[in-house]
């Protein structure tokens, strides 16, 4: 299928293919953790999206906030956010002990005293107090859930632990309309990234929940407070988010600019693509 065909299909088709859950719902094993964290280092393919998410998250939390990260993985995003927001307190939750020990050792290497990592299933958030958190965040994790019922359970758990008026920023892949479009996106990644990342991306896009799934959950979950955004043309990236709470502190802007300046031209271009495709889908960012 040509790129043009795929774009037409993504633009006009109303149907999508059946979801194929991730072969490994939990990410474990030294090799998996090493490969994954490699992509999240400065210069890696995931670092630009982390910077984007960190800015969006920073715009939704205030000093003193208690924040939970669902499926924190190796903690690279959460540690970045915790470093930028030293007056807030963060808890990352993941089912993978291997990912958690990587996250903890990175937090201690960065001398971050405001982040804790706990082992648990984010669909139930067992052990997390009700109405106790100011914000719940997540990046690239929801598609690891086994089915739509688990997605619904996750949104109910988020609703339970959040304080009234609490903030959310839940970002994930959305399901494309055709497997051929998935192949085109994956082949683009395969040309410049590792085979591991291309395979992981492939599995993620097949396992992504549909825009309709997110729309149903976002509508049930605090409908007057949250909005579902998606990248323009196709829902490659979806975000369920509350409105930003206030302007970003100058120190966050400076940290972002310094980190952005260190990106290679390719990574800068990828960041801008994400930023503009989400902006055309309704979600803006102050950078």
Report the interface residues with ligand SAM, using CB under 6 A: 25-27, 40, 46, 71-73, 77, 93-96, 99, 121-123, 139-141, 144-145
Which of 10/104 has CB closer to ligand SAM? 104
Gap between the Cα atoms of 283 and 249, Å rounded: 20
Which of 26/179 has CB closer to ligand SAM? 26
Which of 83/249 has CB closer to ligand SAM? 83
Q: Which letter, b or e, does each residue of 42-77 get, where b requires 16 or more Cβ atoms within 10 Å of its Cβ?
A: eebbbbbbbbbbbbbbbbbbeeebbbbbbbbbbbbb
Gap between the Cα atoms of 237 and 173, Å rounded: 4
Which of 10/98 has CB closer to ligand SAM? 98
- How many CB atoms are closer than 10 A to CB 39? 21
Beta carbon of residue 27, minimum distance to ligand SAM (angstroms, whole number): 4
Which of 6/155 has CB closer to ligand SAM? 155
φ, ψ dihedrals at 135, nearest 5°: -155, 145
Beta carbon of residue 41, minimum distance to ligand SAM (angstroms, whole number): 12
Residues 168, 158: contact at Cβ < 8 Å?
A: yes
Beta carbon of residue 100, minimum distance to ligand SAM (angstroms, whole number): 8
Beta carbon of residue 223, minimum distance to ligand SAM (angstroms, whole number): 24
Which of 140/283 has CB closer to ligand SAM? 140
Which of 25/196 has CB closer to ligand SAM? 25
Q: Which residue is nearest to ligand SAM (CB)?
A: 73
Order of strands, sheet of 89-94, starting from the edge strand that comes earlier in the sequence: 115-119, 89-94, 66-70, 133-139, 162-173, 237-242, 226-230
Beta carbon of residue 61, minimum distance to ligand SAM (angstroms, whole number): 17
Beta carbon of residue 38, minimum distance to ligand SAM (angstroms, whole number): 12
Beta carbon of residue 151, minimum distance to ligand SAM (angstroms, whole number): 10
* Extended beta strands in 59-205, E state: 66-70, 89-94, 115-119, 133-139, 162-173
Q: Which letter, b or e, does each residue of 141-154 get, where b requires 16 or more Cβ atoms within 10 Å of its Cβ?
A: bbbbbeeeebbbbb
Q: Where are the alpha helices (DSSP H) in 193-264?
A: 195-207, 211-220, 250-261
């Amino acid at each position: 299928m040509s790129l043009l065909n795929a774009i037409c299909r993504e633009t006009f088709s109303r149907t999508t293919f059946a979801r194929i859950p991730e072969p490994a719902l939990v990410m474990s094993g030294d090799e998996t953790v090493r490969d994954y964290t490699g992509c999240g280092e400065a210069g890696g393919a995931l670092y630009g999206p982390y910077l984007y998410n960190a800015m969006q998250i920073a715009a939704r939390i205030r000093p003193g906030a208690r924040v939970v990260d669902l499926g924190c993985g190796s903690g690279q995003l959460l540690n970045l956010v915790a470093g930028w927001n030293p007056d807030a307190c963060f808890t990352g939750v993941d089912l993978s002990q291997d990912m958690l020990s990587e996250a903890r050792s990175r937090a201690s290497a960065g001398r971050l005293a405001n982040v804790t990592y706990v082992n648990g299933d984010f669909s139930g958030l067992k052990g997390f107090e009700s109405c106790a958190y100011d914000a719940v965040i997540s990046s690239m994790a929801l598609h690891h859930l086994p089915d739509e019922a688990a997605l619904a359970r996750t949104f109910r758990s988020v609703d339970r632990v959040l304080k009234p008026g609490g903030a959310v920023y839940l970002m994930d892949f959305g399901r494309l309309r055709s497997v051929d479009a998935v192949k085109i996106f994956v082949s683009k990644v395969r040309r410049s990234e590792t085979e591991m990342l291309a395979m992981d991306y492939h599995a993620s896009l097949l396992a992504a929940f549909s825009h309709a799934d997110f729309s149903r959950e976002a509508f049930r979950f605090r409908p007057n407070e949250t909005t579902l955004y998606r990248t323009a043309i196709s829902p490659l990236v979806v975000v369920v988010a509350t409105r930003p709470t206030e302007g970003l502190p100058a120190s966050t802007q400076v940290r972002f600019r310094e980190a952005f300046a260190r990106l290679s031209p390719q990574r800068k271009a990828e960041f801008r693509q994400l930023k503009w495709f989400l902006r055309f889908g309704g979600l803006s960012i102050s950078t």
